[in-house]
Structure 1
Amino acid sequence: MLGFLKRFSRMGDSELVERIAKGDSAAFDEVLRRYQPRVYSFACRYVKDRDEAADIAQETFLRLYRMASQYRPEAKLSTFLMQIAKNLCIDFLRKKKPVLLPELPESPAGDDTAVQAGHRQQLEQVRELVQRLPAKQRKALVLRHDQGLSYAEIAEALETTVSAVEALLVRSRRTLRERMDF
């Protein structure tokens, strides 16, 4: 059994993927052994949620298994896997419902309900204004303020530069300030 495992550990990535395409589960296990920690770690840093990162890592390898026959050895397997993981992370972040502002706390007895109603109205107006921003500005704003991503992480998610992210955030904040009527 040990000799069998050593044989797989010496195989190149493209040969392993070729064997996976033919249904070889031992080759798939070897790819998991080599790359699962790296893919999981990447997803953890990207989505900042261990459970979601585990799901993303699992889905990454399921996609490799399904798409093994489409893999082209010109690309390194690690690059191929990380691109799948990155796309899954971006999809997760896009689907996650943005909550840019916290909900107002319950008012203690005696608070002015008219003031509280005004705050709720302002929150709703801000949420509506954010939804009306151009898509890239909205995504940058949500990734920065809701997800807490760095400018570099946002640039990677939006496939742009850090300076472009800075410009997107400046424009989105300026637009929000101009449109707010309170």
Structure 2
Amino acid sequence: MQTGPGDNEIINRVLRGEQALYAELVKRYQNFVFTIALRYTPNREDAEEIAQDVFVKVYRSLADFRGESKFSTWLYTIVTTTCITFLRRKKLTVHSLDNEHIFEAADNQNSTFKANQVEQKSKVQVINDAIKLLSVDDARIITLFYQAEQSLEEIGRIIGVDPNTAKVKLHRARQRLKEKMEKYFTEELKDLVG
């Protein structure tokens, strides 16, 4: 949990001239921003570049934050927009995980999964690996709820649905995440539980 002044207080103080405090916001949200960027591009260097771009954009538009929602909700919107712009600029091909060919390729790499199972993974790493197998929409809602700690109301605002629909989408995304974990990470789950 965060200690010290709240996000809104920091923003107000930065806007009043205490620019050095902006580093506290960066520190609080750097993992959040980097994690979201990694959902859009598997390349760590690209994700780091996106994260840097995001924090520059946020600093420049801090005065536009109205405080009607959590800072993290506003930040999430900037991160996703920056990621999409970055991918368009780089002209990277983005494949939907709903495509059957992607799963066929993953099944054919089963030996790679077995080799990786030898490596001891933390619970967080296993979950993050499973999230990478989800569709973009499912990964986004799981990330918003569990990693960004957004409420169903805030998630609804971000994705443009009412809170009840967000709840249903979250439930379905959890089910698909569970299925992916059971299918691809059986050994890791045994190690984590056992």
Normalising by structure 2, what TM-score? 0.48
* Distance in 2 (alpha carbons) for counterparts of 1:45 and 1:67: 24
Asked if 1:38 corresponds to 2:32, the answer is yes
* Distance in 2 (alpha carbons) for counterparts of 1:67 and 1:150: 33
CA shift digits 1:27-69 (9 cap, x unpaired): 1011011111111111112211111111111111111111111
CA contact (8 A) 1:39 1:82 kept: yes
Runs of 4+ in 1 over 3 A off after TM superposition: 148-151, 159-162
CA contact (8 A) 1:18 1:68 kept: no
CA contact (8 A) 2:13 2:21 kept: yes
Structure 1 residue identity aligned to 2:136: E
- Find 1:144's aligned residue among 81, 84, 96: 96
Structure 1 residue identity aligned to 2:70: K
Q: Which residue number corresponds to residue 89 of structure 2?
A: 95
Residues 50/67 of structure 1: CA separation in 2 closer, same or farther (3 Å cut): same
* Distance in 2 (alpha carbons) for counterparts of 1:10 and 1:87: 29
Secondary structure of the structure 2 residue equivalent to 1:85: helix
* Distance in 1 (alpha carbons) for counterparts of 2:49 and 2:38: 10
Unaligned runs of 5+ in 1: 1-7, 100-141, 163-182
* Distance in 2 (alpha carbons) for counterparts of 1:153 and 1:29: 30
Structure 2 residue identity aligned to 1:31: L
Secondary structure of the structure 1 residue equivalent to 2:38: helix
Give % identity: 34
Structure 1 residue identity aligned to 2:63: S
* Distance in 2 (alpha carbons) for counterparts of 1:82 and 1:152: 18
Q: Which residue number corresponds to residue 20 of structure 2?
A: 26
Q: Which residue number corresponds to residue 55 of structure 2?
A: 61
* Distance in 1 (alpha carbons) for counterparts of 2:38 and 2:134: 17
Normalising by structure 1, what TM-score? 0.51
Task: Work out which of the two has the higher radius of gyration on C-alpha atoms and give 1 or 2.
Answer: 1
CA contact (8 A) 2:96 2:135 kept: no
Q: 1:151: Cα distance to partner?
A: 6.5
Q: 1:160: Cα distance to partner?
A: 9.1
Unaligned runs of 5+ in 2: 103-131, 141-158, 162-168, 170-194
Secondary structure of the structure 2 residue equivalent to 1:144: coil
Query: What number of residue pairs does the alignment pair up?
Result: 110
Residues 64/23 of structure 1: CA separation in 2 closer, same or farther (3 Å cut): farther
* Distance in 1 (alpha carbons) for counterparts of 2:5 and 2:86: 33
Residues 9/98 of structure 1: CA separation in 2 closer, same or farther (3 Å cut): closer
Secondary structure of the structure 2 residue equivalent to 1:143: coil
Secondary structure of the structure 2 residue equivalent to 1:41: helix
